[in-house]
Amino acid sequence: MEGAKDAGGDRSAITVQVKFCGRTLPVSLPMDATVADLKSLLQPVTNVLTRGQTLICKGKVLADKVSLKSVPVTNGSKVMLIASQGLHQGDGPITKDAATQSISPRKLIDTKQTQVSHTRTNVEKSRSERWKLTGVVALSECHLEAMPEEVWSCGHSVRVLDVSNNLIRDVPTKVGDLKLLNKLLLNANNITDESISWEGLSSLKSLTILSLSHNYLTTLPSAVGTLTSLCQLHIANNKITSLPDELGLLNQLQILKVANNRLSSMPSSIGNCRALVEALILRNNGLKSLPPTLFKMCYQLSTLDLHGTEITNDFLRQIEGWEDFDERRRSKHQKQLDFRVGSSGVFDEGADDDRALK
23-30: strand order across its sheet: 23-30, 13-20, 78-83, 53-57, 60-61
The pLDDT value given to residue 50: 82
For residue 251, pLDDT over 70 is answered with yes
Q: Is the dihedral of CA 183, 184, 188, 194 positive or negative?
A: negative
In angstroms, the CA 298 to CA 274 distance is: 4
For residue 226, pLDDT over 90 is answered with yes
Mean pLDDT of 90-103: 51
With beta carbons less than 8 A apart as the criterion, state whether 153 and 132 touch.
no
pLDDT in tens, 281-294: 998 888 888 999 89
The pLDDT value given to residue 43: 82
Higher pLDDT, 3 or 141: 141
For residue 89, pLDDT over 60 is answered with no
CATH architecture of 127-339: Alpha-Beta Horseshoe (3.80)
In angstroms, the CA 358 to CA 350 distance is: 17
pLDDT in tens, 50-78: 888 899 888 888 898 888 888 888 888 89
Provide the b/e sequence for 175-201 (b: ≥16 CB within 10 Å). bbbbeebbbbbbbbbebbbebbbbebb
Kindly report which listed range (156-170, 301-315, 343-357) carries the lowest average pLDDT score: 343-357
The pLDDT value given to residue 23: 85
What are the domain boundaries of the chain? Answer: 14-83, 127-339
The pLDDT value given to residue 109: 52
Mean pLDDT of 225-240: 95
pTM score, whole prediction: 0.62
In angstroms, the CA 247 to CA 241 distance is: 14
With beta carbons less than 8 A apart as the criterion, state whether 16 and 73 touch.
yes
Mean pLDDT of 82-93: 62
pLDDT in tens, 197-209: 999 999 999 999 9
The pLDDT value given to residue 168: 95
Higher pLDDT, 127 or 351: 127
For residue 240, pLDDT over 80 is answered with yes
The pLDDT value given to residue 125: 53
The pLDDT value given to residue 48: 80
Higher pLDDT, 30 or 7: 30
- Could you tell me the pLDDT band of residue 11, with boundaries at 50, 70 and 90? low
Please state, rounded to an integer, the average pLDDT across all residues of the chain: 81
What is the CATH T-level fold of the domain 14-83, as seen in this structure? Ubiquitin-like (UB roll) (3.10.20)
pLDDT in tens, 97-117: 444 445 555 555 555 455 444
The pLDDT value given to residue 137: 92
The pLDDT value given to residue 3: 38
The pLDDT value given to residue 344: 42
Mean pLDDT of 207-224: 96
- What does the radius of gyration of the chain's CA atoms come to, in whole angstroms? 34
Kindly report which listed range (42-56, 86-100, 112-126, 289-303) carries the lowest average pLDDT score: 112-126
